Chains A and B, each alone.
Chain A
């Protein structure tokens, strides 16, 4: 049996993954995946479109530069917008690509398009990056769900993120940082009772497995095991028990507290953690809103970078921060900036990417990319390769049809790869 075969009928069983001796491990792709099992991803999504001009790629004192100054960073010669003083001190950890040039300027389609890597149209929905990583690298040794999404608003199981990979690679969304339905033990059931009856269930299953198809019992066992693991780590989304100092340091706002939950998840071993912040679509009164929004981001993102470095996790974690596009250099009649996929920036850090590096540049007014422009497909190649996945060789399997994991005509951003 091909381990990377069709999503509909094949189970990426954790047991199969770790148990050995099942024949699955013979595949070189699987062996490769085994080596990768400790790599993690933090994916920060600033929904609506962050302005590159007030953050990663400032153009002070130019026609479209806006009212803010730029400030030097920890890397000589590189400047950020003045609203990001904390991140400026951490530029030596970052890799900023200022030459993104993508294709969609609508939110409704752009959000999906960017997160799916905008591959060639094969008539099937592609997985989001998180689902792709969950499929290719699996849940890892933690046994926790591989793709977790921390976001304001509602939570739940988001199957649509997985596209053709099938619902099991969708995200588990923690709405407002809260756990999914039924995560906590029922109040009428004591801890001992809960453990005892669950052990009884396992015993009954083991007995049944002797007479029946093992695969069926294993499929059931693996989801109960995952539930068990998640219940045991119910603390990882609970920020109330964290030191006050951490909560202050990350910021007492959604993005800050959610980033702190993300740190907990990464420490607990979740493979892919996405954090979303909404409200970056500033068509009007842009500059006033930047003075409140960007510092919150600066605080939360710099805090997690510091902590990941201190705990050593930054060595194995790829950190990515982006939006569906940037914002127009031209300032509109409502003192706002509109959608601008033509020239914008993404930031990366951690495993597999260069540190203290800026790739590419925009022209003086920030309207166009002056160096080689990169589409999101190039970024996907970069990220997969940073995670040790050969994005030109490894393929997804769409019910028997092999499909490239990133746009087949594009190449990684070589300058960014460590």
Chain B
């Protein structure tokens, strides 16, 4: 069976995530026939309006993973958050390749490198939900609401959390 380096590394990460899953995270390939397409579930961090929620996201890996980072997109219900595009795509420094720093505010250590992993991405996204980064809003509307009308923002997030669980 001729497996590429990327497939082997992804399989290795899948195994680690299954045998030793981090708190509040479930992730793996949708089907092992395509190791480059994963789905992940993240629990909303406690003490935030996202608490109690579960958020699904798809991860698409490039063929040269882990040299290049995957892309991550929330699916099945929007995530109302300053760093998540209205279409669900996550904008976070760990998903940006080292050479790509259009805004010159990210440290190289925060960005993607092969030392990072799916687990680290998902943990970073979890903490991003708790603490939005106001410097680079992907959802300008949500960022504005978060800054100026915090209680309205939190109520909207809580409503979406319940809606996501079919309540």
Physical interaction between A and B: no
Which of A's residues lie within 8 Å of B, judged by CB?
none
